[in-house]
Amino acid sequence: MRALVMTEAGGSEHSHVLDVEAPEPGPGQVAIDVAHAGLNFVDVMARRGDGGYGAAWPHHPGKEVAGTVRALGAGVTHLAVGTPVVAATRAGGLAETAVADAVLTVPVPAGVPLEAAATVPLGLATTLLLLTDAGRFAPGESVLVHSAGGGIGTAVARLLPHLGGGRLLGTVGRPEKAAAALRHGYHAVHARGTDPADLAARLRAANDGRGIDLVLDPLGTAAVDLDLDLLAPGGRIVLFGNAGGGAPDPLPTLPRLLAANATLTGFSHNGLLTSAPAKVAAAIRRALDLLATGILDTPVTVLPGLSAVPAAHDLLATGQGEGKYVVAL
Ligand SMILES: NC(=O)c1ccc[n+]([C@@H]2O[C@H](COP(=O)([O-])OP(=O)(O)OC[C@H]3O[C@@H](n4cnc5c(N)ncnc54)[C@H](OP(=O)(O)O)[C@@H]3O)[C@@H](O)[C@H]2O)c1
Checking if the pLDDT of 24 tops 90, the result is yes
| Mean pLDDT confidence for 83-96 | 98
Does ligand 1 have an atom closer than 6 angstroms to the CB of 268? yes
CA of 317 to the centre of ligand 1 (A): 9
Which pLDDT belongs to residue 54?
A: 67
| Pairwise CA distance, residues 289 & 309, whole Å | 28
Please state the separation of Cα 9 from the chain's center in Å: 22
Atom of ligand 1 nearest to the CA of 242: 45
Question: Alpha carbon of 293 to those of 84, 114, 269, 285, 287: distances in Å?
Answer: 17, 15, 25, 12, 10
DSSP secondary structure of 235-261: EEEEE--BTT-SPPPPPPPHHHHHHTT
| DSSP per position, 277-292 | HHHHHHHHHHHHHHHH
Non-local (6+) Cβ contacts of 208 within 8 A are none
Centroid of ligand 1 to alpha carbon of 149 (angstroms)? 9
Ranking 15-19, 66-70, 248-252 by mean pLDDT, the lowest is: 248-252
| Per-residue pLDDT tens over the stretch 203-241 | 999 999 999 999 999 999 999 999 999 999 999 999 999
Contact indicator for 84, 116 with CB cutoff of 8 Å: no
Q: Is the CB of 240 under 6 A from ligand 1?
A: yes
User: Counting atoms of ligand 1 from 1, which one is nearest the CA of 316?
Assistant: 21
**Residue 55: predicted pLDDT:** 66
Q: Answer yes or no: is the C-beta of 23 below 6 A from any ligand 1 atom.
A: no
- Which of the four pLDDT bands, split at 50, 70 and 90, describes residue 107? very high
What pLDDT score does 194 carry?
82
pLDDT of 206 reads 97
Q: Give φ, ψ of 151 to 5 degrees.
A: -65, -55
- Residue 98, φ and ψ in degrees, nearest 5: -135, 160
Taking the alpha carbons at both ends of the chain, their separation in whole angstroms is 11
Between the CA of 316 and the centroid of ligand 1 the distance, in Å, is 8
What does the alpha-carbon distance between residue 300 and residue 2 come to, in Å, rounded to a whole number?
23
What mean pLDDT, rounded, does the chain reach? 96
Pocket lining: 283 vs ligand 1, CB cutoff 6 Å? no
* pLDDT 10s digits, 49-75: 998 886 689 999 999 999 999 999 999
> pLDDT at residue 193 above 90?
no
- Testing ligand 1's pocket by substitution, the residue of 43, 147, 194 carrying the most ligand atoms inside 8 A of its CB is 147
Looking at the CA of residue 155, tell me the nearest atom of ligand 1. 16
pTM to 2 decimals? Answer: 0.97
Domains of the chain, with CATH numbers? 2-119+298-328 (3.90.180.10), 123-269 (3.40.50.720)
Number of C-beta neighbours around residue 13 at 10 A: 9
Most informative mutation of 41, 184, 322 for ligand 1 (most atoms within 8 A of CB): 41
From CA 100, how far away is CA 68, in angstroms rounded? 12
177 Cβ closer than 6 Å to some ligand 1 atom? yes
Judge contact between 50 and 270, C-beta under 8 A: no
Is 172 touching ligand 1 by the criterion CB < 6 Å? yes
DSSP designation for 123 = I
Alpha carbon distance 223, 199 (integer Å): 11
Q: How far is the C-alpha of 82 from the C-alpha of 88, rounded, in Å?
A: 18
Q: Give the model's pLDDT for residue 214.
A: 98
The rounded Å distance from CA 75 to ligand 1 centre is: 37
Could you identify the atom of ligand 1 that is nearest to the CA of residue 244?
31
Read off the pLDDT of residues 122-180 as tens digits, 9 standing for 90 and up: 999 999 999 999 999 999 999 999 999 999 999 999 999 999 999 999 999 999 999 99
Is the separation of the CB atoms in 31 and 25 below 8 Å? yes
